[in-house]
């Protein structure tokens, strides 16, 4: 589905290890577009400070880097996020936002409790 056709989506959080495949670590409840801030509340503790995580919110992909993430995870994060986006027509043209631990935007934090 193209992004403009997506009216609701279930946000997903993945761990991006330096080697190996992305591993889903959390799944939220469906969120509808156009209804203000995210209504889905993922557990904030699914973001591990020692890892790099990817949040697919449905309309934007966030690449979150924990403060203790391994250098190799940090270096491979963008290519893994790019591969994730290219894997599905829905995500192919979504913006990817880099988020550093401790500097999360209110839009990013709206997905978590």
Q: Whole-angstrom Cα distance, residue 84 to residue 90? A: 11
Q: To the nearest 10°, report the CA torsion of 96, 34, 108, 95.
A: 10
- Identify the pLDDT of residue 6: 66
pLDDT digits (tens, 9 = 90+) for 55-92: 999 889 999 999 999 999 999 999 999 999 999 998 99
- pLDDT band at 44; cut points 50, 70, 90: very high
Among 16, 6, 36, 4, residue whose Cα is nearest residue 76: 16
- Identify the pLDDT of residue 7: 75
Identify the residue with better confidence: 97 or 7: 97
Report whether pLDDT(38) > 70.
no
User: Which pair of tokens denotes residue 38?
Assistant: 């995210």
Confirm whether pTM is higher than 0.85: yes
Report whether pLDDT(30) > 90.
no
Report whether pLDDT(24) > 80.
yes
- Identify the pLDDT of residue 50: 97
């Amino acid at each position: 589905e193209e992004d403009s056709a997506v009216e609701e989506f279930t946000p997903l959080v993945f761990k991006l290890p330096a080697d190996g495949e992305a591993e889903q670590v959390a799944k939220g409840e469906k969120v509808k577009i156009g209804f203000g801030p995210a209504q889905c509340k993922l557990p904030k503790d699914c973001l591990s400070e020692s890892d790099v995580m990817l949040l697919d919110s449905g309309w934007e992909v966030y690449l979150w880097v924990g403060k203790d993430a391994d250098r190799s995870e940090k270096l491979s994060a963008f290519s893994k996020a790019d591969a994730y986006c290219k894997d599905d027509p829905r995500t192919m043209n979504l913006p990817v936002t880099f988020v550093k631990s401790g500097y999360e935007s209110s839009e990013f934090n709206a997905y978590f409790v």
